[in-house]
């Protein structure tokens, strides 16, 4: 997508809305970063079109036999859907190379458009196919949560998947999920079960004509901190039907973010090892002028609902925290409550030369390691990072570090494809928010700079030197900000 595609009335309206909320400076850098990302994705549509599966590959998938043929129920809440878009959605389900599915359409429309479109589509199908498309006209429009519950009631499959009425699945979507579930089969005597109770994939967006693809969303493996910052899981998401029903379905008080709330309540029942991420686009999210995919300002209420969904999730887990907006719609900050944290501050040199005896003698719960050339930008970094460490699963937390030129020096470290720890966003303009705002929201990382992080004492194993236990996760929190005055690069630490 080039600059000419961005210079239209809709995007100018979005820019004006952002300007009113955040001011001229932030708006300028947001626009520049958006154009930079568009430039980086300039050949993405061509990549998608050239990556479409050959007929030979599709046929191979159709012939594949799995150990257990799970059945999938797609939940589609419909309301006055454009017939062309509805047909395209149904086409994408019909095109699945894995055949064991049903499409559950719960129609809350105040017209007969959806009913006639579905009936017309089914009229030319054989009975065994027609029976897989299940339609119910609801007695009234119950809102997106209520209509989704209507579809959930209809579901008879082993797993349910969330599918919007105008979006598109790739033809191998269910096949890729079945590959995962096939690997997840476990046997206990004569009883077989699957270790994976929820699966999600990457996604992107497409225009009305399905001729342009953009905003490729490459997701990480399950990350609860990122999910509390933003509903990054979104589509495609499938979950065991019994898990979905135990969660209580969808709640109308979270309309607009009902899927975020629903995903929280499903995943709260599961261990991280039961949640699988497929690093592959299986879902094309339709961007229309009325959708949040194209214009987030259209549904400001949805972002308020999302904030409430995060709060509700934290309350169920009995985690005391404040949830507030960031400058980006639909992205949140969670600040965990911690009272009078006991923190020992030491330099990197002190940390490196610790003896076991000195370490055991530390009375404080948390240790802040701060390099001599690092200075905090703001006085609340202690409470910010200690709040993260107050959670039982977090062993280390670090913030955003800028270099002396105002660029990002550290936003955490992640393993690359070769298994090496690499700094994320190093050298990026400090005013930029990063890929899908990841430099500006809380999320899990693989490592932090060794001279700017806080660790929980109980999470450290002291051998010949202190090492963070693998039982704990490491979190990046950009709301604790630091500046590096010197030239030396930080030592990375897992």
329 falls within a domain: no
436 falls within a domain: yes
Gap between the Cα atoms of 365 and 470, Å rounded: 18
Task: Give residue-wise pLDDT tens across range 169-183.
Answer: 999 999 999 999 999
Q: Count of domains in the chain?
A: 3
In this predicted structure, the answer to whether residue 356 has a pLDDT above a threshold of 50 is yes
Contact 255, 305 (CB under 8 A): yes
Note whether 383 and 423 are same-domain residues: yes
Q: Which residue has 């709330």 as its token pair?
A: 261
Note whether 11 and 56 are same-domain residues: no
Contact 397, 388 (CB under 8 A): yes
- Is residue 51 packed enough to be buried (19+ CB in 10 Å), middle (13-18) or exposed (0-12)? exposed
Please report which confidence band the pLDDT of residue 108 belongs to, taking 50, 70 and 90 as the band edges.
Answer: very high
CATH number at residue 178: 3.90.550.10
What is the length of the chain?
Answer: 494
Note whether 116 and 249 are same-domain residues: yes
Please report which confidence band the pLDDT of residue 493 belongs to, taking 50, 70 and 90 as the band edges.
Answer: low
Note whether 252 and 365 are same-domain residues: no
pLDDT-above-90 percentage for the chain: 79
H/E stretch holding 1 reads: none
CATH number at residue 373: 3.90.550.60
Note whether 62 and 36 are same-domain residues: no
Task: Give residue-wise pLDDT tens across range 218-245.
Answer: 999 999 999 999 999 999 999 999 999 9
Domain boundaries, position 366: 343-493
Question: The tokens of 203 are what?
Answer: 């996604």
Handedness of CA 469, 475, 34, 8 (dihedral sign): positive
Gap between the Cα atoms of 134 and 151, Å rounded: 9
In this predicted structure, the answer to whether residue 97 has a pLDDT above a threshold of 50 is yes
Gap between the Cα atoms of 126 and 92, Å rounded: 17
In this predicted structure, the answer to whether residue 4 has a pLDDT above a threshold of 70 is no
334 falls within a domain: no
């Amino acid at each position: 997508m080039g600059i000419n595609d961005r210079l239209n009335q809709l995007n100018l309206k979005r820019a004006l809305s952002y300007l009113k909320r955040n001011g001229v400076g932030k708006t300028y850098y947001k626009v520049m970063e958006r154009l930079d990302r568009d430039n980086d994705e300039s050949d993405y549509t061509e990549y998608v079109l050239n990556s479409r599966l050959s007929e030979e590959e599709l046929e191979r998938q159709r012939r594949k036999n799995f150990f257990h043929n799970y059945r999938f129920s797609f939940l589609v809440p419909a309301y006055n859907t454009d017939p062309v878009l509805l047909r395209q959605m149904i086409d994408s389900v019909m095109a699945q190379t894995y055949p064991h599915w049903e499409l559950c359409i719960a129609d809350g429309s105040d017209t007969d458009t959806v009913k006639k479109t579905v009936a017309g589509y089914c009229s030319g199908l054989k009975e065994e196919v027609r029976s897989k498309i299940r339609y119910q006209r609801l007695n009234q429009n119950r809102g997106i949560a209520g209509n989704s519950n209507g579809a959930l009631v209809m579901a008879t499959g082993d797993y349910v998947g969330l599918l919007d009425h105008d979006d598109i699945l790739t033809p191998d979507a269910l096949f890729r999920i079945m590959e995962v579930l096939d690997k997840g089969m476990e046997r206990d005597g004569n009883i077989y079960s699957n270790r994976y109770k929820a699966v999600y994939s990457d996604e992107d967006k497409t225009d009305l004509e399905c001729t342009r693809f953009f905003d490729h969303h490459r997701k990480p493996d399950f990350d609860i901190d990122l999910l509390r910052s933003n509903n990054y899981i979104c589509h495609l998401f499938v979950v065991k039907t019994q898990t979905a029903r135990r969660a209580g379905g969808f709640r109308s008080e979270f309309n607009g973010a009902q899927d975020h709330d629903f995903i929280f309540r499903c995943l709260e029942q599961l261990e991280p090892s039961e949640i699988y991420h497929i690093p592959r686009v299986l879902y094309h999210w339709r961007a229309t002028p009325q959708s949040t995919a194209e214009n987030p300002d259209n549904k400001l209420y949805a972002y308020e609902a999302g904030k409430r969904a995060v709060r509700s999730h934290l309350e169920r887990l009995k985690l005391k925290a404040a949830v507030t907006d960031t400058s980006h719609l639909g992205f949140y900050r969670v600040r965990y409550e911690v009272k009078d944290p006991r923190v020992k501050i030491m330099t990197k040199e002190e940390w490196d030369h610790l003896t076991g005896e000195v370490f055991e003698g530390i009375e404080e719960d948390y240790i802040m390691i701060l390099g001599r050339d690092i200075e905090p930008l703001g006085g609340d970094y202690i409470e910010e990072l200690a709040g993260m460490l107050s959670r039982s699963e977090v062993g280390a937390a670090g913030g955003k570090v800028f270099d002396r030129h105002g660029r990002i020096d550290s936003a955490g470290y992640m393993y690359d494809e070769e298994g090496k720890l690499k700094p994320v966003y190093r050298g990026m303009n400090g005013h930029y928010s990063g890929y899908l705002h990841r430099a500006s929201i809380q999320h899990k990382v693989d490592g932090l700079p060794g001279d700017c992080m806080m660790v929980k004492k109980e999470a450290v194993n002291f051998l010949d030197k202190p090492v963070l236990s693998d039982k704990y996760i490491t979190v990046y929190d950009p709301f604790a900000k630091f500046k590096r005055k010197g030239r030396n690069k930080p030592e990375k630490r897992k």
